[in-house]
């Protein structure tokens, strides 16, 4: 910081904090800059500036992504909107094979949000960024009147660099490949339901919110030829696999007995008539890989905290092209279509 911080004692967000004047400056410096604290952000320019040689040493192709977060409630067991904003953006870069480097952060804050809640979100973002090894380098703040938003909305963008020999795309699945997931599915969607207090469950379900770039780096070390990979967020596992099947013109066959679902999540789904295959995740990836690399890949994934429960859940076949088929534990099969409509509102 080029000058000392002024005293900042505000307890709630007011419209003055979005005016662009002294109150805005105090909010930005005392809450955001002092927390994220890096050489790019601390310049307080309208843009972050980088030396291209620093970026180029990681590869020759840039990856760029953006996302918005409108979760309700803001805080859930295992995560919050701030952690979600960082890890979600990091994961969107990482599943394309990119090394995440820099994030932006724009916040739309409703008048009346407490400063304690905002600081809690910002400190959560700081911790998540540090764990993922990325820097939050620029951003924007807007304040809207009461009733014009729901406490806090966050938009992020992320920049990463893709190594030279990595080419992961949704249209590269081939017959004979296998599908890997890095752990239990549906935790995040179930945690949102639990946090809203509608179920009064005996066991608290925690969100799986976590950054996956460290795990993916290990995966690429073992198998640079990963064919497809995505994180299964809104729409869940079923939607991602349908995207792979359609883009690659292949059939994806799932083994119901192999899909890991926690008992608490399964029980909640049975009560509400939900399917865990469509529940949102915020720390789960699906990878389509050559069968010859699968065992070594899973062994490596299990050595990372985000991949300890990794397992093969299916395979890729030639036909019926563009379809995802679930082979049930009773010996039958059924089509798993893309999510239609809305299972749960405001899950990310």
Q: Which two tokens stand for residue 32?
A: 């955001």
- Whether 15-162 shares its CATH topology with 178-335 is answered no
Per-residue pLDDT tens for 192-202? 988 887 666 66
| Terminal Cα-to-Cα distance of the chain (whole angstroms) | 33
| Residue 315, pLDDT score | 98
Domain limits, the chain: 15-162, 178-335
So what's the pLDDT on residue 3?
A: 56
Give the Cα separation of 123 and 269 in Å (integer): 33
User: For position 347, what pLDDT does the model report?
Assistant: 66
Measure the CA–CA gap between 252 and 290, rounded to whole angstroms: 14
User: What are the distances in angstroms from CA 310 to CA 8, 258, 286?
Assistant: 47, 11, 10
Supply the pTM of this predicted model: 0.94
Cα–Cα dist 211/304, whole Å: 12
On whether the 15-162 domain is CATH 3.30.1330.10, my answer is: yes
Tens-binned pLDDT, residue by residue, of the chain (348 aa): 455 666 788 999 999 999 999 999 999 999 999 999 999 999 989 999 999 888 888 888 999 999 999 999 999 999 999 999 999 999 999 999 999 999 999 999 999 999 999 999 999 999 999 999 999 999 999 999 999 999 999 999 999 999 989 999 999 999 999 999 999 999 999 999 888 876 666 678 999 999 999 999 999 999 999 999 999 999 999 999 999 999 999 999 999 999 999 999 999 999 888 999 999 999 999 999 999 999 999 999 999 999 999 999 999 999 999 999 999 999 999 999 998 776 666 667
Counting Cβ atoms within 10 Å, is residue 340 exposed (0-12), middle (13-18) or buried (19+)?
Answer: exposed
- Residue where the block lists tokens 């729901």: 150
d(CA 156, CA 69): 8
Cβ-contact 290, 227 below 8 angstroms: yes
Domain 178-335 fold: Phosphoribosyl-aminoimidazole Synthetase; Chain A, domain 2 (3.90.650)
Token pair, residue 256, equals 């119901």
Closest CA to 256 of 340, 214, 313, 209: 313
């Amino acid at each position: 910081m080029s000058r000392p911080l002024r005293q900042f004692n505000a307890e709630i967000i007011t419209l003055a904090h979005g005016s662009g004047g002294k109150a805005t400056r105090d909010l930005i410096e005392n809450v955001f800059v002092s927390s994220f604290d890096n050489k790019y952000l601390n310049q307080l320019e309208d843009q972050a500036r980088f030396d291209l040689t620093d970026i180029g040493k990681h590869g020759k192709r840039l990856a760029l992504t953006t996302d918005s977060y409108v979760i309700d409630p803001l805080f859930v067991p295992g995560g919050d909107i701030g952690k979600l904003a960082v890890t979600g953006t990091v994961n969107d870069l990482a599943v394309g094979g990119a090394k995440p480097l820099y994030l932006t952060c724009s916040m739309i804050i409703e008048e009346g949000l407490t400063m304690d809640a905002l600081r809690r979100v910002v400190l959560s973002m700081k911790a998540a960024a540090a764990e993922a090894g990325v820097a939050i380098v620029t951003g924007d703040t807007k304040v809207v009147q009461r009733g014009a938003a729901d406490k806090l909305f966050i938009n992020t963008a992320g920049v990463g660099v893709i190594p030279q020999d990595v080419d992961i795309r949704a249209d590269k699945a081939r017959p004979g490949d296998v599908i890997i997931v890095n752990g239990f599915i549906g935790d995040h969607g179930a945690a949102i339901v639990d946090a809203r207090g509608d179920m009064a469950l005996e066991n608290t379900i925690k969100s799986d919110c976590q950054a996956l770039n460290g795990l993916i780096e290990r995966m690429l070390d073992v198998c640079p030829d990963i064919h497809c990979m995505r994180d299964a967020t809104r729409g869940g596992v079923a939607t991602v696999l349908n995207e792979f099947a359609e883009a690659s013109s292949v059939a994806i066959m799932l083994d119901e007995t192999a899909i890991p679902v926690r008992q608490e999540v399964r029980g909640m789904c049975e009560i509400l008539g939900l399917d865990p295959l469509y529940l949102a995740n915020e720390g789960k990836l699906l990878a389509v890989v050559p069968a010859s690399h699968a065992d070594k890949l899973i062994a490596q994934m299990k050595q990372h905290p985000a991949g300890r429960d990794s397992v093969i859940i299916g395979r890729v076949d030639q036909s019926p092209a563009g379809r995802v088929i679930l082979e049930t534990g009773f010996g039958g099969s059924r089509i798993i279509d893309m999510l239609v409509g809305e299972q749960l509102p405001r899950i990310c």
